[in-house]
Structure 1
Amino acid sequence: MSQKFNVYTGEPEGSPGAQAVSTAARLGLEPPRFCAECGRRMIVQVRPDGWSARCSRHGELDSIDFEERR
């Protein structure tokens, strides 16, 4: 599955806005805020051991799953 949208900005991949990512996000310190498939804002819950994010259309993603995809 290829990602269509930047998970930190919500901009389509390849657009100039998708490149403007904070340093914390580039270092992996921020959870994704937007769905990679549709670009919608996700509901994000930060926990002491990681985070979970839920897209209303594409389901839930957990920090454990996200690390395996990197």
Structure 2
Amino acid sequence: MSPFCDHCGRRPDDGDHSACRTARLMEPPRYCPACRRRLVVQVTPRGWSARCAEHGMTAS
């Protein structure tokens, strides 16, 4: 399990994350799950990419 939620940036044990899981079905991540930094997100017709300054790029 990641130390942080990639949608809201909070710890997994900090409240209910069911809304985050639902949102992530349609949206890219907003926070790095490893360090909680805000991601630079780019959405294109073919998918999305998200970049953390510390941990690099992830994509759909």
TM-score for both structures, normalised by structure 2: 0.86
Q: Structure with the greater relative contact order (CA < 8 A, sep ≥ 6): 1 or 2? A: 2
Question: Can you give the 5+ residue segments of structure 1 that lack an aligned partner in the other structure?
Answer: 64-70
Residue 21 of structure 1: how far off its partner (Å): 2.6
Corresponding position: 1:48 with 2:39: no
Which consecutive aligned stretches of 4+ in structure 1 deviate over 2 angstroms post-superposition?
20-24
As a proportion of its length, which structure holds more helix? 1
Number of residue-to-residue matches in the alignment:
60
Q: Which residue of 2 aligns with 1:11?
A: 10
Contact 2:8–2:20 (Cα < 8 Å) also in 1: no
Residue 22 of structure 1: how far off its partner (Å): 5.0
